[in-house]
């Protein structure tokens, strides 16, 4: 925090009191009356110094729900998981893969003056299709062709908020019970804390959506 924005309220109050009225009881009484203004100033200043950037969203969430942890914005995701911090990552969406006609992959053939036909150059990398046996080879993963429903009926979040299971276990973060007993551990959770959603909705960009996930620091994504 900038030193010019920090006010020493007790000293400021003492300066504003006339010397003849500088009594301890009088100063304590005025200090109590000044406390609401001090709270409003600190809350407003805090909001002005934080934006919707990822590092600020992570900082705000950890300061509110995970104050015992020291948040380092320069740490990697693996380190944040080991430190059991609340962190934000991009959402997973299927990538668009376009399929072209054979003639669209190449430039049109050219006829040289001597009548020789020259095949056109390759314009677009050809889509690799693997057979059933090659699917088992991890080096040749099949291409996922996204369906129109993937972008119309499924609403993908813009970013994901990962919460350590320790905060859920100790009751700091309350999640709504899941009626689907077969739901996998990689599925999103529904956070019941109103303050959690209020903070994200206040600081994030208006058009962005999010999902919440829980994670265990012992299980790292490979």
* Residue 87: φ, ψ to 5°: -135, 165
**pTM for the full model?**
0.64
Q: What is the pLDDT of residues 19-64, one digit of tens each?
A: 888 888 888 898 898 889 888 888 888 888 888 899 999 999 999 9
* Residue 153: φ, ψ to 5°: -95, -20
Range 73-84 average pLDDT: 91
Q: What percent of the chain has pLDDT over 90?
A: 30
Per-domain boundaries in the chain: 51-93+156-215, 94-146
Q: What is the pLDDT of residues 117-157, one digit of tens each?
A: 888 777 766 556 555 566 555 565 555 566 666 666 667 78
pLDDT at 14 over 80: yes
| Contact indicator for 151, 73 with CB cutoff of 8 Å | no
Q: What is the pLDDT of residues 157-206, one digit of tens each?
A: 889 999 999 999 999 999 888 766 555 667 888 999 999 999 999 999 88
How many Å separate Cα 190 from the centre of its chain? Answer: 16
pLDDT at 222 over 50: no
Q: Give every CB contact of residue 185 below 8 A, 6+ residues apart in sequence.
A: 214
Task: Kindly give the pairing relationship between strand 210-215 and strand 159-164.
Answer: parallel
Q: Give every CB contact of residue 123 below 8 A, 6+ residues apart in sequence.
A: 104, 105, 106, 107
């Amino acid at each position: 925090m900038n030193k010019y924005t920090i006010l020493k309220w007790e000293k400021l109050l003492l300066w504003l009191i006339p010397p003849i009225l500088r009594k301890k009881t009088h100063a304590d009484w005025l200090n109590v009356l000044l406390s609401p203004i001090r709270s409003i100033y600190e809350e407003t200043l805090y909001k002005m110094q934080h934006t919707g950037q990822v590092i600020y969203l992570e900082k705000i969430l950890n300061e509110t729900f995970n104050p015992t942890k020291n948040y380092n914005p320069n740490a990697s995701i693996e380190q944040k998981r080991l430190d059991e911090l609340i962190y934000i990552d991009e959402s997973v969406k299927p990538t668009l893969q376009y399929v072209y006609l054979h003639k669209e992959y190449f430039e049109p053939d050219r006829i040289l003056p001597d009548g020789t036909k020259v095949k056109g150059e390759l314009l677009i990398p050809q889509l690799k299709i693997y057979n059933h046996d090659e699917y088992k080879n991890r080096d040749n993963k099949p291409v996922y062709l996204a369906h129109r429903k993937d972008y119309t009926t499924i609403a993908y979040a813009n970013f994901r908020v990962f919460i350590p299971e320790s905060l859920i276990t100790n009751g700091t973060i309350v999640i709504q019970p899941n009626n689907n007993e077969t739901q996998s551990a990689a599925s999103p959770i529904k956070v019941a804390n109103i303050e959690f959603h209020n903070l994200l909705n206040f600081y994030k960009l208006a058009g962005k959506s999010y999902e919440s996930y829980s994670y265990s620091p012992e299980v790292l994504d490979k």
